[in-house]
Amino acid sequence: MNRKNRKEKEQNADVSKQICVHKTQNTLLEFNSFLRMAEPKDFWHLHEDFASDYSRIRAVMVDYSKEDSISVYANLSPEIIKYVYSRIWNNVQEFKFFQQKIFCEDKNSNTGRVTVFSIQRKVRNNKGEVLNYPWVVRIQNGTGVAMHNSNGGQYCKKDSYRKEKEVTIQLKDEEIFTLFARTSAVIQAFEQDCMTRRRQAGNFRNLYRMIEKLIVGTEEEKDNAA
Domain ranges of the chain: 17-220
Please list the ranges in the chain whose pLDDT falls under 70.
1-13, 51-52, 199-208, 216-226
Number of Cβ atoms within 10 Å of the Cβ of 55: 23
Burial class (CB in 10 A: 0-12, 13-18, 19+), 121: buried
> Residue length, the chain?
226
Side chain identity, residue 117: F
Burial class (CB in 10 A: 0-12, 13-18, 19+), 101: middle
Query: What digits encode the pLDDT tens for the residues 132-162?
Result: 999 999 999 999 999 988 887 889 999 999 9
- Name the residue among 128, 30, 131 with its Cα closest to residue 73: 30
Give the CA distances from residue 124 to residues 94, 130, 132, 134, 135, in Å, rounded to whole numbers and listed in that order: 10, 4, 9, 8, 11
CA terminus-to-terminus distance, the chain: 48
Number of Cβ atoms within 10 Å of the Cβ of 43: 13
- Name the residue among 27, 2, 18, 29 with its Cα closest to residue 175: 29
Residue 194's φ and ψ, nearest 5 degrees, are: -60, -45
- pLDDT at res. 6: 46
- Name the residue among 87, 83, 85, 104 with its Cα closest to residue 95: 87
